[in-house]
Amino acid sequence: MKNLQFESPSLKGEINVPGDKSISHRSIMFGAISHGETRVTGFLKGDDCLSTIDCFRKMGVQIIEKEDEILIEGKGFEGLQEPSEVLYTGNSGTTTRLLLGILAGQPFHSVITGDESIAKRPMNRVTAPLKQMGAVIDGREDGNLTPISIRGGKLKSFHYKLPVASAQLKSALILAGLQSDEETVIVEPEKTRDHTEKMIRHFGGSIQRDGQKIIVNGNQPFTAKDVHVPGDISSAAFFLTAAAITKNSSLLLKGVGLNETRTGILDVLKKMEADFEVTQTNADEEPEGQIKINSSILKSCEIGGELIPRLIDEIPIIALLATQANGQTVIKDAEELKVKETNRIDAVVEELKKFGADIHATEDGMIINGPTLLHGAEADSRGDHRIGMMLAVAALISKGQVKINNPECISVSYPSFFNDLDAVIHQNNV
C-alpha cells in the first residue's frame, strides 16, 4: 500500500520521462529477427519490456543489458530456436500478442502464458486470423485464453479486415505476414499507432499504406540497425495532467515521443484550453520534443471517433483531467478499454467515485461532470499500471489522505514514477 497526502502542492521543474514502451518492445523483436548486432538506447527497463527480452532469450537470441544500452545479436526469422521452456510474458499484452504473430511463422512448437491478468485477456482476435493463415493454435476456449500452444510455419498470405482498431492485432498480423508466402493485406477501421511499420522501414524492409489498407510482402530479410527510443508520451500524460490540475505549477517534460499516431493527449489538452507549448527537437522516424505545461483553467469537451486510437492508453488519466474541467466531458467509442489490463471503463469510474468524482460509465466510455473537489480515499490499482498512476495524480488534488493498494504494478511502464513525482512536488505549507 502507498499512502499519499499533500497540502496545496504545486509541481515545478523538469522531467525526462522513461522510454516508450511500445517502441522498446519492438526494438527487441526487430533486433532479434534482423541479421547483425542492434544497439538500443533509451530502452524502457520496465517489467513488460523485460518480459519481451526474456522470451527472446529463451528462443536462443543473445541479448546483453548494459546500464545505458541493450545489445541484441540478431539471427533473422530463420535463426529463432524452439524454446525448451514456456514463454512467460508477465503482464504484457504487447509481448503476448506480437509474439504470437512471430511464432505463427516458425516451424516449431511453443507455449505462451502470462500472469493472472493476461489469463483473462482475449487472444482470439489474434489467434483466429493466424489460424486462417495456417498456424496450428490451441489453448483455453479454443485459443482465446492463455496458456496458448502454437506450432507455426508455412503461412499463407491473406486479405483481412480488422474488426477493431488495435495496434497489437495489426502488428501481430504484420509480423506473421512478413513470414508468409506472398502479399498480405490488412485493413484498419481507424489508423492506429504505426511503430511496427516504422520499425520495418528502419531495419531495411518495405511496407506500403494505401488509405486504411496496409500491404505486407513476405520473406523479407532485415539488417541490424541502432534504435533510439524516445520518451513515452503515455507516461508523460500523467505529469501533463498533474501540472494542469494543480495550482501554481509549471513543468517541462523533455525527450517526449511525438509520433502523430500517439499524440491524442495533446489534442485533448488543446480542446480543454490547457496552457502548454510543444517544441519538436528532432524530425527522425520517431520524432521527439519537449512539452512545457502550466496550471490551467480547463474546459470540458467530447472525445471519440478517430481520436480514440491515438490516446487509448491515456483515457484513465484523461478521465481525472475531466473531473477538473468546467462542464460535461463525454468519452465515447472506447470499447477497447474493456480488454486492457482491467476493464478500464469500470475500473476508472469505480475508483474515481471513491474520491467523490461525478463520473458515470457508458457502454463505450464515460461521462464526467466537473469541476469536482476530490476527497481522500482508499483506492486500488487493480494491478493496472495506468490506474495506479492515475490514483497517485488524483492524490495531488484530494483533500485528505489517499491510500493506494497494489502500487507496485506501476513498474510495468514507469519504474521511477514515484521518484520523479517526489522530485517535482513543492508543498506550499512547508
Per the annotation, binding residues for phosphoenolpyruvate are 21, 93, 121, 168, 344, 386
The Cα 137–Cα 124 span in angstroms is 10
Which residues, other chains included, contact 4 with Cβ-Cβ below 8 Å and sequence gap of 6+?
A: 392, 395, 401, 402, 403, 404
Q: Which residues on adjacent β-strands are paired with residue 215?
A: 185, 208
Annotated binding site: 21-22, 26, 93, 121, 166, 168, 313, 340, 344, 386
Nearest to 93 by CA among 125, 45, 130, 69: 125
Among candidate residues 313, 380, 384, 420, the one labeled active-site is 313
Which residues, other chains included, contact 70 with Cβ-Cβ below 8 Å and sequence gap of 6+?
A: 27, 28, 31, 39, 40, 43, 53, 63, 64
Annotation says 181 is catalytic: no
Which residues, other chains included, contact 91 with Cβ-Cβ below 8 Å and sequence gap of 6+?
A: 47, 48, 51, 114, 115, 117, 118, 341, 383, 385, 409, 412
Say if residues 70 and 43 touch (Cβ distance below 8 Å).
yes
The Cα 23–Cα 380 span in angstroms is 28
Task: Please report, to the nearest 10 degrees, the dihedral formed by the alpha carbons of residues 131, 133, 135, 136 taken in order.
Answer: 40
Residue positions annotated with a catalytic role? 313
